[in-house]
Amino acid sequence: MSERLNTTDFPWPLPDEGVRAALAAAYLDGSWGRYDGPHSAGLKEDLRELFACDQVRLCSSGTVAVELALRSCGVGPVDEVVLAGYDFPGNFRAIEAIGARPVLVDVDPASWCLDAHCLEQVTGKHVRAVVVSHLHGGLADMPRIMQLARQRGWQVVEDACQQPGATLGGRIVGNWGDIGVLSFGGSKLLTAGRGGALITGNRAIHQRIKIFAQRGNDAFPMSELQATVLRPQLAKLASRNRQRAKGATDFMNSTSPLSTWLRGVTHPAGSQPAYYKLAWSYLPAEQDPTCRTQLIMALDAAAVPIAAGFRGFSRRGRTGGRCRQVGPLTHSQRLSHSTLLLHHPILLASEATVRQAIKILTHTVQRLAGV
Ligand X SMILES: Cc1ncc(COP(=O)(O)O)c(C=O)c1O
Residue type, 310: F
- Applying CB under 6 A, the site for ligand X has a residue count of 13
Of the CA atoms within 13 Å of residue 32, those in its CB half-sphere come to 11
Per CB under 6 A, the segment of 56-64, 140-148, 254-262, 292-300 that binds ligand X is 56-64
The C-alpha atoms of residue 227 and residue 218 are separated, in whole angstroms, by: 15
Nearest approach in angstroms of CB 207 to ligand X is 23
CB closer to ligand X out of 191 and 356: 191
- How far out from the chain centre does Cα 298 lie? 26
CB closer to ligand X out of 74 and 193: 193
CB closer to ligand X out of 306 and 354: 306
Residue nearest to ligand X (CB): 62
Please answer whether residues 282 and 338 qualify as being in contact, where contact means their C-beta atoms are separated by less than 8 angstroms: yes
The C-alpha atoms of residue 273 and residue 252 are separated, in whole angstroms, by: 14
Nearest approach in angstroms of CB 94 to ligand X is 9
Q: Among 31, 40, 61, 241, which residue interacts with ligand X (rule: CB under 6 A)?
A: 61
Per CB under 6 A, the segment of 61-69, 97-105, 297-305, 328-336 that binds ligand X is 61-69
Nearest approach in angstroms of CB 185 to ligand X is 3
Per CB under 6 A, the segment of 39-47, 159-167, 288-296, 357-365 that binds ligand X is 159-167
Residue type, 248: A
- Scanning the chain, the segments in alpha helix (DSSP H) are 17-29, 38-51, 62-72, 89-97, 116-120, 142-152, 203-213, 224-235, 237-255, 283-287, 290-301, 314-319, 330-338, 351-369
The arrangement of strands across the sheet holding 339-343 comes to: 262-264, 277-282, 339-343, 306-308
- Beta partners for 243? none
Q: Among 62, 177, 180, 317, which residue interacts with ligand X (rule: CB under 6 A)?
A: 62
Of the CA atoms within 13 Å of residue 239, those in its CB half-sphere come to 5
Q: Interaction with ligand X in 175-204: which residues (CB under 6 A)?
A: 183, 185, 196
Residue 161 as a binder of ligand X (CB under 6 A): the answer is yes
N- to C-terminal Cα distance for the chain? 21
Please answer whether residues 347 and 126 qualify as being in contact, where contact means their C-beta atoms are separated by less than 8 angstroms: no
Nearest approach in angstroms of CB 62 to ligand X is 2
Residue 90 as a binder of ligand X (CB under 6 A): the answer is yes
CB closer to ligand X out of 76 and 193: 193
The C-alpha atoms of residue 337 and residue 2 are separated, in whole angstroms, by: 30
Nearest approach in angstroms of CB 196 to ligand X is 5
CB closer to ligand X out of 162 and 339: 162
Per CB under 6 A, the segment of 98-106, 155-163, 236-244, 329-337 that binds ligand X is 155-163
Residue 133 as a binder of ligand X (CB under 6 A): the answer is yes
**Interacting residue ranges for ligand X, rule: CB under 6 A:** 61-63, 66, 88, 90, 133, 159, 161-162, 183, 185, 196
